[in-house]
Structure 1
Amino acid sequence: MTDVLVCGAGVAGLATACALGALGLRVVVVDKQPGIRPVAKGEVFQPSALPALRSWGALSRLDEQGALRLSRLVTSDERGTPLLAIDYGDLPEGSRHLLAQDYPGILHAFGDSLPSTVSLRRDTVVGELTMSDGRVDGAWLTENGRRYHVRAGLVVAADGVSSTLRKAIGITGLRHAYPHRLATFEVTASTAIEAFTAYRSPRGLRLVYPLPGHRVRVYAQVEPHELRGTDSARSWYDGLVSEVPALGWLSDALPATPSRPQVLPVSRFLAERLTAPGLALAGDAAHVVHPMAAQGLGCAIADACALADRLAEHYGDAPNLASAVDRALPAYEADRMPALAHNQRMSHRAARLITATSPLARGLGGRALRRTAANPRLLHLMAYNMSGLGIQPFSAVDRLRQFGLLPHDRLPIPTR
């Protein structure tokens, strides 16, 4: 018996364990993987995540690892000429930078920050959920060949985009696959990379940002079967550099015989709902956006914080934990769904501006980027929304100004 069973030990699962463990709840976190795998995903925190990281102790551990603070998001053309630069320096104190670290380092920092009331069990497979009185009350687990049942007042499904628990409970959602994929690789470079930079090329997105230890993460938009017919990985990399002269430094950073990049499918997804009686979805199990927008980690942290806040509101007055959970889950869903729907729209629109490859779409996207950069109000709105600090969507008039259908004026910059 435990208070909370968290299924999945990625960022969403560990963040939820930190947040709920800080309330004094007993939390068991389980993950089917025996250890932390070196995968390329979720490496950039938006400013909105920093207060929670600080309160859990994870921020200081990330700093000890050498996590990088980046103050700008830049969109440039293939020659490196900036089209739009979002400077977080104008945002509220404490929210003026991104934080970049590789995914294994982030998971280690979270694992080292877990409260004493949290137990982490790896190499443990979650089987079927169990029900009592119409609500989820636990799950069957298999660990070292032993099958056993864990009862819990709350089960959190943080088991990724292909969540078996979400499917088992009958929660569906809208998934839209992008027509392209992303090839990703990491290099060690002598050239200083100081910003999160998305390059617009005739063949789509080229995304670059630094990691600790002079490492650089690179994402390149590719067609679904682009790398299958390539005679050698080197020829593909050479083509990448020739298409984007601003990335000329890659030629020196790559080894003589580089390995093929990892190729990832790209989609966006939002679950139709975030809860069922006794169960909550968190992180990729509930929502996914295009990686270019760097919103995944921030949304997972916000899920964890919202779930803990809503549960804390009801825990003291309820006769037992299950009753508090039943009151908290509708509030959690009401809190997060509008923010996630807004994030889906914002991330998709931002991705389309960069990933479009047709001449017409590229022309319109470039125009929108340049006009946004020239308008202080639009630039502030974009910085505020991308940072995750709140919802200040573009109005219809803002959109018309962004695409040059209305002239700029002296509208005030919104404040909070």
Structure 2
Amino acid sequence: MDNPPPPVQITCMEFDTDIIVVGGGLNGPVLALALSSAGLSVTVIDALPAPVRKKSGFDGRSYALALASARLMQGIGVWDTLDDKAQPILDIKVTDGRAGEGPSPFFMHFDHAEIEEGPMGYMVEDRHLRPALLKAMNAHKNITQISERRVTGQQTDPTGVRVTLDDGQTLRGRVLAGCDGRSSGTAKRAGIARTGWPYDQTALVCALEHALPHNGVAHQFFMPAGPLAILPLTGNRSSIVWSEKTDAAQRINEMPDSDYLDVLRPRFGSFLGEISLAGERFTYPLSLSLATELVADRTALVGDAAHGVHPIAGQGLNAGLRDIAALAEVLADASRRGEDIGARGTLERYQTWRRFDNATLALATDAFNRLFSNDNPLLRAARDIGMGLINKAPALRRGFIREAAGLTGDLPRLLRGRPL
């Protein structure tokens, strides 16, 4: 009689966490909070020390959160700590012109009163948003934070993913989420390529104090060298995102504060009275950068790791928050159904959901920048007439307002104000 075959040995693969999130800026913590609210365990790895991430002094950095993004913040439990520190965006005025000559008579004016949902969005300062996210993570038992560590390696297998940190520590999870920016190491290690191009523009970013109230109005002034965004903050202050040709931006940024303001004043105008700098000054080179895939084996990319766009419409962070809401919903629903949350088929649902929207945003911001960042008289006439026509068409205006508020398209539950 033949000997019976030996029993099959089934190895139980242990996991340190369900999702490993690489990057602790803004997208990483938001994703962690969304996933943990659905009962999933999350480990967030960030290269910065915790005290730097908790820095709460005003430095001028601020973010435009669309109304739908504010709903997400409510859904993950942080909006109540931000609400009284956020400045509602009530109107948006879009104009075209040249520095020192004032705006064209053709313009677009979007008033939040034309939709029922409320303000189109909110301006939130970095010094309030980042600590609020960190505080919420610290209070959540499903979230583990690892600071001052870099990921040096990642390997996937049929059941999970393992990452290696620069101190030799390893962690095993079911899914790896890359929230590590445009130079994403997560994407590179997963073999995901990028496509894109530089704009030969640099954004000069700062905050201003001004003599007159802004009344919650955001302004976008298009000039030949690039757009100037004036975004309302609480009090008589505004956030400035000022795009110039890179050589000019470097020269301007090297100027002392008084000369910097002298260059800005003809572009800014006098409608808010006298202006002065508040906080620090920053510069950011502008480019388009798109990952060719949003997912790989056991891996998903979110935010700037997936797509970096021109700030012309202020949608960069909001696009990342849409990624987060979609990925969190896909993973939460798969977990509730008992599916493998890291299976390629599961992650492909996220890619299918977000790929077209991200590509459309990238192409739209690129086209707008090319259309408006020039002094071609024919293009100037065409865009001015186009703005005038849109401004006189209520249905078109409402469409733009809803788009700015993040209320269009196939929205995940968190962006609709529903629980995950």
TM class, shorter-length: 0.7 to 0.9
Q: CA separation in 1, counterparts of 2:363 and 2:72?
A: 25
1:149 to 154, 170, 174: 170
CA contact (8 A) 2:232 2:238 kept: yes
Whole-angstrom CA distance in 2 between matches of 1:271 and 1:364: 33
What percentage of aligned pairs have identical amino acids? 22
| Shift in alpha-carbon separation, 1:227–1:305, aligned structure 2, 3 A | closer
Contact 1:75/1:82, CA 8 A, preserved across alignment:
no
Q: Counterpart in 2 of 1:241?
A: 265
Q: Secondary structure at the match of 2:247?
A: coil
Q: Does the 8 Å contact 2:310/2:366 carry over to 1? A: yes
Once the two structures are TM-superposed, the CA of residue 40 in structure 1 deviates from its matched residue by 6.3
Report matched runs for 1:146-185 at 5 Å.
Answer: 146-185=167-206
1:33 to 48, 59, 69: 48
- Distance (Å, rounded) in 1 between the aligned partners of 2:335 and 2:228: 47
RMSD: 2.6
Q: CA deviation at 1:61?
A: 1.2
Is 1:359–2:382 an aligned residue pair?
A: no
Equivalence for 1:348:
366
Asked if 1 retains the 8 angstrom alpha-carbon contact of 2:201 and 2:226, the reply is: no
Task: Output one character per residue of 1:171-206: Cα deviation in whole Å (capped at 9) or x when no partner.
Answer: 123212223221122222332122121113354322
| Structure 2 counterpart of 1:266, from 278, 283, 286 | 286
Residues 363 and 317 of structure 1: CA distance in aligned 2, closer, same or farther (over 3 Å): same
State which structure, 1 or 2, has the greater radius of gyration over its C-alpha atoms: 2
For residues 310-349 of structure 1, what are the structure 2 equivalents within 5 Å? 310-318=330-338, 321-322=341-342, 325-349=343-367
- Residue number among 69, 72, 77 corresponding to 2:88 in the alignment: 69
Preserved contact between residue 177 and residue 299 of structure 2 (Cα < 8 Å): yes
Structure 1 residue 19 and structure 2 residue 43: aligned? no
TM-score (normalizing by structure 2): 0.82
Q: Report the Cα distance in structure 1 between the residues aligned to 2:250 and 2:353, rounded to whole angstroms.
A: 44
Q: Contact 2:87–2:122 (CA<8 Å) still a contact in 1?
A: yes
Task: Between 348-357 and 152-161, report the one with greater CA deviation.
Answer: 348-357
Distance 2:225 2:310 in 1: 17
2:114 counterpart residue number: 90
Give deviations 1:227-284, integer Å, cap 9, x for gaps: 545684333431321345346735x4248xx98x422111122221110111100011
Q: Secondary structure at 1:226's aligned position in 2?
A: helix
Q: Which position in structure 2 is the counterpart of 1:401? A: none
Is 1:277 the counterpart of 2:300? The answer is: no
Distance in structure 2 (CA, Å) of the matches to 1:313 and 1:339: 21
8 A Cα contact 1:9 1:30, kept in partner: yes
The structure, 1 or 2, with the larger RCO (C-alpha pairs under 8 Å, 6+ apart) is 2
CA distance in 2, matches of 1:82, 1:17: 45
Gap runs ≥5 in structure 2: 1-15, 411-420
Q: Check whether the contact 1:77–1:199 (CA below 8 A) recurs between aligned residues.
A: yes
Q: How many residues align?
A: 380
Instruction: Indicate if the aligned counterparts of 1:190 and 1:253 stay in contact, CA closer than 8 A.
Output: no
Hey, what does 2:414 align to over in structure 1?
Answer: none
Separation of aligned partners in 1, 2:172 and 2:120: 41
Distance 1:21 1:217 in 2: 33
Tell me the secondary structure at the aligned position of residue 154 of structure 2. strand
State the shift of 1:62 in Å: 0.9
Aligned match of 2:153 in 123, 128, 131?
128
State how far apart, in whole Å, the 1-side matches of 2:222 and 2:289 are: 24
3-state SS in 2 of match to 1:147 = coil
Deviation at 1:100, TM superposition (A): 0.6
User: Are 1:139 and 2:181 an aligned pair?
Assistant: no
Point out the more displaced range, 4-13 or 170-179.
170-179
Q: How far apart are 1:359 and its partner, in Å?
A: 3.2
> Residue 191 and residue 87 in structure 1: after superposition, are their counterparts in 2 closer, same or farther (change >3 A)?
same
Contact 1:271–1:286, Cα closer than 8 Å, also in 2: yes
Q: Letter of the aligned partner of 2:32 in structure 1?
A: A
Inter-partner Cα distance in structure 2 for 1:341 and 1:235: 39
Asked if the contact 1:74–1:82 (Cα under 8 Å) also holds between the matched residues in 2, the reply is: no
